[in-house]
Amino acid sequence: MTQLSSDDLREFYSAGARVMTRSLIRELLKLTRRGGMISFAGGLPDPATFPVNELKHITSDILDKQPHLALQYGPTEGDTNLKDELVRWMGKDGIDVGRDQILITSGSQQGLDLVGRVFLDPGDPLIVELPSYMAGLQVFRSCRAEMIGVPQDDAGMRTDLLEQTLARLAREGRRPKFIYVVPDFQNPSGVTMTEERRRMVLELARAYRSLVVEDNPYRELRFEGTPVPPIMSLDRDGRVVYLSTFSKTLAPGLRIAWMAASEELIRQFVTAKQGVDLCCPSLTQAIAAEYCARGHIYKHLPRITALYRTKRDIMLRALEREMPPGVSWTKPEGGLFLWVRLPEGMDTEQLLSTAVEDEGVAYVVGSGFHADGGGKNAMRLNFSFPSEEHIEEGIKRLASVVKKHLPAAYAREPSRGPRSP
């Protein structure tokens, strides 16, 4: 019997499903499982950081002492013990929220989906950074919202350009539903937004009656420098929706993350989540809560940041050594990624098949992070997942691909090294 073809099925799809795009990162992830491949593509933690023994003990204790809770459905809002831990956790960053201002989600990715469901109708404008988190763009695109990009420099989103954009929209009688930012060690660029710009984003959101969605999975992974206050800690009128996750600090396989917002907004997100998955897994919520309550997380973080700092440094040194003139890159103070720019006119999408097929090295193309189709000469490199040896070897391979395709003019130009996105 023949199956219904994709053309047959298309007429059944919703308008949203028809415009959905597949995540390049998730597709590359399958490819990079092949032997011999060095992957700078996915934003995966180093599995050596997974605290397996502690998690074994905690899981066994939970199953001994409270199986009736850990294996049962839980409240949509999330495990109360976990929420209490998160109140304390965010308090250290000046985010002053109560238990009812938190919703536990299945990864921050679900938080982004709920943001889309609750705020976006087709055609609604929203502001994103250029570049911005790819799977965030994927969500907003499937809502058929209009993403308006505001460029970034090495101090984060250009708030002068944000102001111009908001003023233009206001003249057209429109206002964005929200401004989406990843302020700490951004995915993909690695850039951190300055405090001045954070205050300005909030100020502009207030002036133009918009909201701010602050997606902050990397905040705890700071290698050096002084932490900058989260935008939510500066907010006085419940204008910010904050998202964070245990995916990068503990283990993404737990799929435990959270949103913080005003009680009113959290009630709305809870309603939306009820239609998605009823509640997050009770078992992994209990594990995350206990991991915090026993204080493990506080000892674990310095170990992860030390490891990722070393890996970042190895990648930076390898880039400096291997890359030809005309190539530049960011120098992130934390997180998992850095952003490489090739000379204008080069196309990282065209180079990808050579890199993967001939050299066995993968990265994510810059255009995937651009709502406006830009970023063609850029690529995102992850330094947390590959081993130290693979970072050295992978950058060598990548540099040889770049050198083969470099326009002749750059062979002589001396400019290269760390720079803004």
Answer yes or no whether residue 326 interacts with ligand G9A by CB under 6 A.
Answer: no
Nearer Cβ to ligand PMP, position 230 or 343? 230
- At closest approach, how far in Å is the CB of 255 from ligand G9A? 11
**Rounded to an integer, what distance in angstroms lies between the CA atom of residue 104 and that of residue 106?**
7
Nearer Cβ to ligand G9A, position 339 or 410? 339
**Rounded to an integer, what distance in angstroms lies between the CA atom of residue 421 and that of residue 419?**
7
Nearer Cβ to ligand G9A, position 51 or 131? 131
**Rounded to an integer, what distance in angstroms lies between the CA atom of residue 183 and that of residue 228?**
9
CB-based contacts of 317, cutoff 8 Å, min separation 6? none
Answer yes or no whether residue 187 interacts with ligand G9A by CB under 6 A.
Answer: yes
42 binds, among ligand PMP, ligand G9A, none (CB under 5 to 8 A by kind): ligand G9A
- At closest approach, how far in Å is the CB of 243 from ligand G9A? 14
**Rounded to an integer, what distance in angstroms lies between the CA atom of residue 81 and that of residue 293?**
9
Q: Is 129 helix (H, G, I), strand (E, B) or coil?
A: strand
Q: Which two tokens stand for residue 206?
A: 């207030």
Answer yes or no whether residue 42 interacts with ligand G9A by CB under 6 A.
Answer: yes
Total residues found in the chain within this entry? 421
Among the listed residues 68, 109, 111, the one whose alpha carbon sits nearest the alpha carbon of residue 282 = 68
- At closest approach, how far in Å is the CB of 222 from ligand PMP? 16
- At closest approach, how far in Å is the CB of 94 from ligand PMP? 21
- Residue ranges binding ligand PMP (CB under 6 A): 43, 107-109, 133, 182, 187, 215, 217, 245, 247, 252, 257
Q: 245-248 long-range CB contacts below 8 Å, 24 or more apart?
A: 245/107, 245/108, 245/217, 246/288, 247/45, 247/107, 247/108, 247/217, 248/43, 248/45, 248/217, 248/218, 248/220, 248/221, 248/336
- At closest approach, how far in Å is the CB of 146 from ligand G9A? 23
26 binds, among ligand G9A, ligand PMP, none (CB under 5 to 8 A by kind): ligand G9A
Q: Which helix (H) or strand (E) holds 233?
A: helix 231-234
Burial 109-148 (b: 16+ CB within 10 A, else e): bbbbbbbbbbbbeeebbbbbbbbbbbbbbbbbbbbbbbbb
Q: How far apart are the first and last CA of the chain?
A: 53
Q: Is 401 helix (H, G, I), strand (E, B) or coil?
A: helix
What residue number has its CB nearest to ligand G9A? 43
Answer yes or no whether residue 25 interacts with ligand G9A by CB under 6 A.
Answer: yes
Nearer Cβ to ligand G9A, position 106 or 159? 106
Residue 353's identity, in one-letter code, is: S
**Rounded to an integer, what distance in angstroms lies between the CA atom of residue 245 and that of residue 223?**
19
Nearer Cβ to ligand PMP, position 182 or 193? 182
Nearer Cβ to ligand PMP, position 208 or 339? 339
| Span near ligand G9A by CB under 6 A; candidates 22-30, 74-82, 306-314, 352-360 | 22-30
Nearer Cβ to ligand G9A, position 42 or 324? 42
Answer yes or no whether residue 26 interacts with ligand G9A by CB under 6 A.
Answer: yes
- At closest approach, how far in Å is the CB of 219 from ligand G9A? 16
- At closest approach, how far in Å is the CB of 12 from ligand PMP? 28
Nearer Cβ to ligand PMP, position 43 or 368? 43
Kindly list the residues in this chain that would bind ligand G9A in the complex (CB under 6 A).
25-26, 29, 42-43, 187
